[in-house]
Amino acid sequence: MPETDTPAGINKNLLLLHFTVFIWGFTSILGKLISISAVELVWYRVIIAISSLFLYFKFNRTAFKADSKTIVQLAFTGALIGLHWILFFESIKLSTVSVTLVCLSSMTLFTAIFEPLINKKRISKLEIIAGLLIIIGIFLIFEFEVQYTKAIIAGLLSAMCASLFSIINSRQVKQIEPTLIAFYELAGAFVWISLYLLITGGFGPWLILKSSDIGYLIILGSVCTALAYVAGVSVMREFSAFKVALITNLEPVYGIILAFIFFNDMKELKPGFWVGALIILSTIFLFPVAQKQIARRKVK
């Protein structure tokens, strides 16, 4: 029996997912520290991530060839990933790390709706209720933080993109190795962003980076992208896209704590933000409890 089919294996994957989410929480800090724009930042991020994965393949003498159909499919998923990251960092640059991370929590509702539709399954009422509670939390944040309207819209669109590519990856990982998925999706993101920059004349002086940006980008591209992305995709062999999305909502917790440590970010936020954030985080922690109670009643 494979290790991942045992309780120990599942716990191992759960710990890996939590560790991955913590690393993702740190990306928001790096996004705030890096001085270049969101599009430019993501362009460098994917270059460094692809290079890291390429070195991994070479060092381990692992083949990374795939058929053309698979490469094209993964490259198109890469477009969603690139758009998600651009919107995510744009939201951070327009507001605060905390506001963006809480908006990302709407990924749960998007996944509760999209996953059954894409996989042709019945929509779970409990998942929809959990998603709606999270949206109520976001509404409270939106109502009290009107100066961040553009940032909140960007954050919500970023969450929708993240939901879609997570659902797609949860299906692809059943047949394709996580490292291959990561490599070709990130390569796809690089191609799409490069085309956008070429069409818009976006290549310019920003290609010469500040020394501080170089260090931050290396950490962002290698640890927070290549390593974390492979880990995040691999656990989808055991968990549904919704469960991954639900646990991913802990990213605001980690990110907000880190934002307080690095930027004292909390002082700018009004009480409405914290009411909304409390609703979101309560939903995340109480959802598994409610799920178990419903399952027990069905058994009885």
In a domain, residue 139? The reply is yes
Look at residue 49 in the predicted model and tell me its pLDDT: 93
In a domain, residue 53? The reply is yes
Look at residue 298 in the predicted model and tell me its pLDDT: 67
Look at residue 4 in the predicted model and tell me its pLDDT: 44
In a domain, residue 2? The reply is no
- Whole-prediction pTM: 0.78
Look at residue 98 in the predicted model and tell me its pLDDT: 73
In a domain, residue 204? The reply is yes
In a domain, residue 1? The reply is no
Q: What is the DSSP letter of 123?
A: P
Look at residue 299 in the predicted model and tell me its pLDDT: 62
In a domain, residue 76? The reply is yes
Neighbours of 257 (CB within 10 A): 15
The CA-to-CA distance between both ends of the chain, in Å, stands at 30
Look at residue 5 in the predicted model and tell me its pLDDT: 47
In a domain, residue 89? The reply is yes
Range of the domain at 206: 9-299
In a domain, residue 87? The reply is yes
Query: Which pLDDT tens digits describe the chain residue by residue (300 residues)?
Result: 344 445 555 578 888 888 888 888 888 888 888 988 888 899 999 999 999 999 988 888 887 788 899 999 999 999 999 999 999 999 988 888 778 877 887 787 788 888 888 888 887 888 888 878 877 887 777 666 678 888 889 999 999 999 999 899 888 888 888 889 999 999 999 999 999 888 888 787 777 888 889 999 999 999 988 988 888 888 887 787 777 877 776 776 777 777 777 777 666 667 777 888 788 778 877 877 787 777 677 665
Continuous H helices in the chain: 7-33, 38-59, 68-94, 97-103, 107-119, 125-144, 149-172, 178-200, 211-221, 228-234, 241-248, 251-263, 271-299
In angstroms, the CA 150 to CA 92 distance is 11
Secondary structure of 141-204 as H, E, C letters? HHHHCHHHHHHHHHHHHHHHHHHHHHHHHHHHCCCCCHHHHHHHHHHHHHHHHHHHHHHHCCCC
Q: What is the DSSP letter of 124?
A: P
Amino acid of residue 94: L
Look at residue 144 in the predicted model and tell me its pLDDT: 61
Domain count, the chain: 1
